[in-house]
Structure 1
Amino acid sequence: MAGKPRHGLDPSQLEALCGRWPGVTRDIKWGDNLVFSVGGKMFVMTHEDGREGGRLAFKVADERFLELTDQPGIIPAPYLARARWVSVTEPSRFATTELQALLLDAYITVRAKLTKKLQAELGPLPTLKGKS
């Protein structure tokens, strides 16, 4: 039997996951928010020091917003809900693999809004196979 599934996602795991996707940049905004962007457009953020239980905020597709915010531990992201961002207030409630899939969806959602030319320059979409 496999080991116990991991839960949550800390800033170093977030860096290892998102940092290897095509075109992703990382920077600090608003004091201590670790922000990952593709093509200059943000798709996920967390506190750099992991406070607030490692709370994550990320972009979701319009059609998934209500579905996700109906789940315990996920709320509309403060200040960004109009842009269809959610905040996972209790990341430890979720399996790491589930969070990774949600973040890949966030990346793909934001990347799809970039120009066709830029999307082509970024190359193929990443997958979660062989994740760190």
Structure 2
Amino acid sequence: MTRNEFNAFCSGLAHTTHVVQWGNSDVWKVGGKVFAICGWNEDADAFSFKASDLAFEVLREMPGIRPAPYLASRGLKWLQHFEPPGLSNDELKNHIVASYDMVIAGLTKKKRAELGL
């Protein structure tokens, strides 16, 4: 997946916002909370996403995937696809959607209602 494909995919999810921060990273949010990031890898695009406990345990051992720099070191369950083989584009999209869904589930009822979710 390229950075442009990542941004196009994330922009297609309902009620998302995009900012560029943290050293030119594309940061995607829903309800003001981050669910996906492209950046933080000097050699190539890297894609970070929130993961379930099970996904974090299983995927972090796969070649091309690691606990996301900065986020995972703070105890958060975030993974980063940083080099091949990693995840296929479809698998990466599925994990981004799962991250988006987890973030929505963590929003207050009031915030979800404001967003129509």
TM over 0.5: yes
Matched residues, percent identical? Answer: 36
Choose which of 15, 19, 25 in structure 1 pairs with 2:11.
Answer: 19
2:27 corresponding residue in structure 1: 35
Q: TM-score, normalised by structure 1?
A: 0.77
Deviations 1:59-114 (A, max 9, x none): 11223211110211111111101111111111554321111111111111111100
Runs of 4+ in 1 over 6 A off after TM superposition: none
- State how far apart, in whole Å, the 1-side matches of 2:87 and 2:95 are: 11
Higher Cα Rg: structure 1 or 2? 1
Deviations 1:23-70 (A, max 9, x none): 21000111201100111111111139x953221111112232111102
2:102 corresponding residue in structure 1: 109
Gaps of 5+ in 1: 1-8, 125-132
RMSD of equivalent CA atoms: 2.0
How many residues align structurally?
A: 115
Amino acid at match of 1:78: P
Gaps of 5+ in 2: none
2:62 corresponding residue in structure 1: 71
